[in-house]
């Protein structure tokens, strides 16, 4: 398994501001993922972040709104830009440590974001 930490664990932000969420893993991993879990909804993949390349965004998510950095193999950040109340959600990072096609993922504790 992998130990994943996220900062902050929760935050309350004002409309129009931006928040950067950090994800730290206890060992080097190739693939890191960012998910959103809106109230009462399932987890939705925002983007895949691989070290040394641009993040790959899913349909409905764009880099201007959710810029991602992946400076090394143990760390990534997700920024939620120009926030609105619709961005209130739990944001989770996950990693795939298997290195093979089976793609078993381990999840961080999440960042609970409330936008007023």
Query: Which parts of this chain interact with other proteins (CB under 8 A)?
Result: 4, 33, 41-45, 48, 58, 92, 101-110
Minimum Å gap between C-beta 43 and other proteins is: 4
Task: Return the number of the residue (36 or 83) whose C-beta is nearest other proteins.
Answer: 36
Residue 33 or 66 having the CB closest to other proteins: 33
Taking alpha carbons only, the member of 82, 78, 56 closest to residue 69 is: 78
Between 75 and 107, CB nearer to other proteins: 107
DSSP annotation string for 88-105: -EEEEEEEE-S-STT--E
3-state helix, strand, coil in the chain (%, to 5): 5, 50, 45
């Amino acid at each position: 398994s992998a130990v994943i930490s996220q900062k902050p664990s929760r935050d309350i932000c004002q409309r129009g501001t931006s928040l950067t969420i950090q994800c730290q893993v206890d060992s080097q991993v190739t693939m890191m993922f960012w998910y959103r879990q809106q109230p009462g909804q399932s987890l939705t993949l925002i983007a895949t972040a691989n070290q040394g390349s641009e993040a790959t965004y899913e349909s409905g998510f764009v880099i201007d709104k959710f810029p991602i950095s992946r400076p090394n193999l143990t760390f990534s950040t997700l920024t939620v830009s120009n926030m609105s109340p619709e961005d209130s959600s739990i944001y989770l990072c996950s990693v795939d440590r298997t290195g093979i096609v089976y793609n078993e993922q381990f999840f961080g504790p999440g960042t609970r974001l409330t936008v007023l």
